[in-house]
């Protein structure tokens, strides 16, 4: 079981480390953008797993996730990683060609031997399930 899970939200770089067992007393820090990658590395070294979030309505958010995956994989020890497409509640209102399709997220996760799911922090869909699945 994971001791701490790191949630990394794109594009702003919101990092939250929390005990995986109960998610009580999370520690959070807003480290926006690529300028703070070295700070992020210290979070990755302390974590036992990473939930890497991108905004499904923002293709640029999804594109920036690739570099973060490489940074996470570059840590001294392998970290369980779950790629999470957030804001799935917005999908019904998006034009067909807009946003990031589920299949693209699944393909990226598979290419990096990572787990994948989509969530909605707004309505709570799959949020707890994502953390529990990573903790297994």
Q: Where are the domains positioned within the chain?
A: 4-20+30-135
Cβ-Cβ contacts under 8 Å for 68 (sequence gap 6 or more): 8, 10, 40, 52
CATH of domain 4-20+30-135: 3.40.50.300
Q: Write the pLDDT tens digit of every residue in 72-118.
A: 888 777 888 899 999 999 999 888 889 999 999 999 999 999 999 99
- In this predicted structure, what is the pLDDT of residue 13? 45
Q: DSSP assignment of 39-105, as one string?
A: HHHHHHHH-S-EEEEEETT-HHHHHHHHHHHHHHHTSSS---EEEEEE-GGGGGGS-TTSS--HHHH
pTM of the model: 0.75
Banded model confidence at residue 14, pLDDT cuts 50, 70, 90: very low
Which has more confidence, 88 or 24? 88
């Amino acid at each position: 079981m994971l001791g701490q899970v790191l949630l990394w939200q794109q594009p702003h770089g919101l990092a939250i480390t929390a005990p995986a067992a109960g998610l009580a007393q999370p520690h959070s820090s807003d480290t926006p953008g690529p300028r703070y990658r070295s700070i992020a590395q210290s979070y990755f070294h302390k974590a036992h797993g990473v939930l890497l979030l991108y905004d499904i309505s923002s293709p640029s958010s999804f594109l920036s996730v690739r570099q973060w995956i490489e940074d996470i994989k570059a840590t001294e020890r392998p970290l369980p990683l779950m790629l999470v497409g957030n804001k799935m509640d917005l999908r019904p209102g998006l034009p067909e060609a807009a946003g990031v399709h589920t299949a693209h997220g699944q393909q990226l996760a598979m290419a990096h031997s990572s787990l994948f799911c989509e969530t909605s922090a707004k309505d709570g869909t799959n949020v707890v399930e994502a953390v529990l699945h990573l903790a297994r």
